[in-house]
Amino acid sequence: MVGNMDQAVEFYTKALGLKVVMGNTQVKEERETAIGRMCVAVFGEGFKGFNIAHLVTTDGIGVELFEMKQRQERHEVDFSRIGIFHFCLQTDDFHAVIERTQQLGGKVRMDIMRYHPEDDSKQAKMVYLEDPFGNLFELYSHSYEETYASDYE
């Protein structure tokens, strides 16, 4: 969920390198089309409509952005709730992604951390960031397998 679709698409494409598959599209509450009936089933009666955009990562993972007509102004993560609270991406351009995240209105939530600081041959780094709307995401400098494998070189 985002607060401004145009800003969100700019952030996710320019900061994180995602590609737009379907740009900012308005969806209204209605029951005449399959998408309309599906949205009523998912969001319930009275959701008032939303904007949606479909993006994709370089490795083909789809990301859907929603801008609801009725919403809170900023996402506040409640770690006591059950549910997904972040996603993770890997990049070969770790520090540049962090810089672009900040330039485009996002935040760095912690110092950069190395998973194996005791071993100079293992350079996997991570950091938690957030988009301009408060959605958390984790950024890895190496693949998931390299980051967590105890025997990667």
Contact 126, 139 (CB under 8 A): yes
Beta partners for 56?
19, 62
Total of domains in the chain? 2
Q: How far apart are CA 47 and CA 44, in angstroms?
A: 6
Instruction: Show the domain range for 131.
Output: 74-153
Q: How far apart are CA 56 and CA 50, in angstroms?
A: 20
pLDDT in tens, the chain (153 residues): 898 999 999 999 999 999 999 999 999 888 898 888 888 898 888 888 899 999 999 989 999 999 988 766 666 777 777 778 889 999 999 999 999 999 999 999 999 998 777 877 778 899 999 999 999 999 999 988 887 776 555
pLDDT at 44 (0 to 100): 86
Shared-domain flag, residues 82 and 102: yes
pLDDT at 12 (0 to 100): 97
Closest C-alpha to 3, from 124, 134, 152: 134
H or E segment to which residue 118 belongs: none
Shared-domain flag, residues 66 and 98: no
Closest C-alpha to 5, from 20, 88, 16: 20
Listed residues 71, 102, 125: the one ending a domain? 71
pTM for this prediction: 0.83
The CATH number of residue 139's host domain is 3.10.180.10
pLDDT at 81 (0 to 100): 79
Q: Is 134 helix (H, G, I), strand (E, B) or coil?
A: coil
Listed residues 10, 39, 71: the one ending a domain? 71
Listed residues 71, 97, 116: the one ending a domain? 71
Shared-domain flag, residues 83 and 37: no
Shared-domain flag, residues 89 and 150: yes
Shared-domain flag, residues 63 and 129: no
Shared-domain flag, residues 61 and 88: no
pLDDT at 74 (0 to 100): 66
